[in-house]
Amino acid sequence: MKLEIKDLTKKYGKKTVLNGISLTADAGHCVGILGGNGSGKSTLLSILAGIVRADSGSFTIEGEEKGSIAYVPQGTPLLEELSAKDNLKLWYDKKTMEAELSNGVLKLLGVDEFLKVPVRKMSGGMKKRLSIGCAMAGNPKVILMDEPTAALDIACKDSIYTYIKEFKKKGGIILLATHDVHEIELCDQCVVIKEGKLNDYQYDGDVHKLAQWIK
């Protein structure tokens, strides 16, 4: 399986946010998308998720324009008054949901531990894990993640890191927009969006050097 982005361009008025972005990713790889605030990371993921339309360019999975994609935005697009279980019912049929809660993605994320809790009473970490669980309905081949562990505690981050590793192991592709050094270490490849352009970046553990490059 291969994901391929070719010459994606997006402008807002006179400002060019993405200028001819091209990128490929193979099965089992996580690509870290780095950049300063407002650099276009979230815009890129929104285009790939089909929420925002690019001005030009293409995006394919295995050569097809429509593929199985999960999108985990920065926010948590859940119904606040419903419980975790009722939110899951909007995405899963009963049999599949029970299987995933017993020995699947929902179990791995620990969603089975708070099924009866209303979203409005959940911690940030619980909401994020539930959001990922909902996004994974339908066994997508590609996950788009926008700062998935921002402001979460260590235990919750660890659950999400474990899931990312398992998804890669099964041949999935992840595009991960991040500022987090620990998330960068999960990536097989890193790219930096700067002034609308995409540049490969070889992260060597030097956070100061990375910060200067992004600046």
The pLDDT tens digits for 110-131 are 999 999 999 999 998 899 999 9
Query: 67-85, pLDDT tens digit by residue?
Result: 689 999 988 889 999 999 9
Examine the domain organization and report whether 49 and 9 are in the same domain: yes
Examine the domain organization and report whether 131 and 146 are in the same domain: no
In a domain, 155, yes or no: no
Question: What is the tally of structural domains in the chain?
Answer: 2
Q: Would the pLDDT of 6 be above 90?
A: yes
In a domain, 61, yes or no: yes
Examine the domain organization and report whether 94 and 116 are in the same domain: yes
Q: Would the pLDDT of 13 be above 80?
A: yes
pLDDT attached to residue 77: 85
Range of the domain at 35: 1-68+141-150+163-215
Last residue in a domain, options 103, 138, 173: 138
In a domain, 174, yes or no: yes
pLDDT attached to residue 22: 96
Average pLDDT, the chain: 90
Mean pLDDT of 26-33: 95
CATH number at residue 60: 3.40.50.300
In a domain, 158, yes or no: no
Examine the domain organization and report whether 64 and 5 are in the same domain: yes
pLDDT attached to residue 213: 73
In one-letter notation, the amino acid at residue 206 is: D
CB-facing half-sphere around the CA of 159: CA atoms within 13 A: 22
Q: Is 108 helix (H, G, I), strand (E, B) or coil?
A: helix
Count Cβ atoms within 10 A of the Cβ of residue 174 and give its class: 0-12 exposed, 13-18 middle, 19 or more buried.
buried
Examine the domain organization and report whether 64 and 84 are in the same domain: no
Query: What does the alpha-carbon distance between residue 91 and residue 75 come to, in Å, rounded to a whole number?
Result: 18
In a domain, 157, yes or no: no
Examine the domain organization and report whether 61 and 80 are in the same domain: no
> E-assigned strands of 13-101?
15-26, 30-34, 56-61, 69-72
Examine the domain organization and report whether 132 and 215 are in the same domain: no
Query: What does the alpha-carbon distance between residue 194 and residue 39 come to, in Å, rounded to a whole number?
Result: 6
pLDDT above 70 covers what percent of the chain?
98
Query: 134-148, pLDDT tens digit by residue?
Result: 999 988 999 999 998
In a domain, 44, yes or no: yes
Nearest CA to 134 out of 85, 172, 183, 68 is that of 85
Examine the domain organization and report whether 134 and 145 are in the same domain: no
| Long-range Cβ contact pairs of 6-9 (< 8 A, separation 24 or more) | 6/57, 6/58, 6/59, 6/60, 7/56, 7/57, 7/58, 8/44, 8/47, 8/54, 8/56, 8/57, 8/58, 8/59, 9/54, 9/55, 9/56, 9/57
In a domain, 202, yes or no: yes
Mean pLDDT of 95-103: 95
Alpha helices in the chain (DSSP H): 41-48, 84-89, 94-103, 105-108, 124-135, 154-169, 181-184, 207-214
Examine the domain organization and report whether 19 and 51 are in the same domain: yes
Per the model's pLDDT, the better-predicted residue between 204 and 96 turns out to be: 96
Is residue 195 a contact partner of residue 16, using CB atoms and an 8 Å limit?
no
Examine the domain organization and report whether 48 and 146 are in the same domain: yes
Query: 41-67, pLDDT tens digit by residue?
Result: 999 999 999 999 999 999 998 877 666
Q: Is 187 helix (H, G, I), strand (E, B) or coil?
A: coil
In a domain, 98, yes or no: yes
Query: What does the alpha-carbon distance between residue 18 and residue 92 come to, in Å, rounded to a whole number?
Result: 35
Is residue 119 a contact partner of residue 87, using CB atoms and an 8 Å limit?
yes
Query: What does the alpha-carbon distance between residue 53 and residue 43 come to, in Å, rounded to a whole number?
Result: 10
Examine the domain organization and report whether 96 and 11 are in the same domain: no
Examine the domain organization and report whether 146 and 210 are in the same domain: yes
pLDDT attached to residue 179: 82
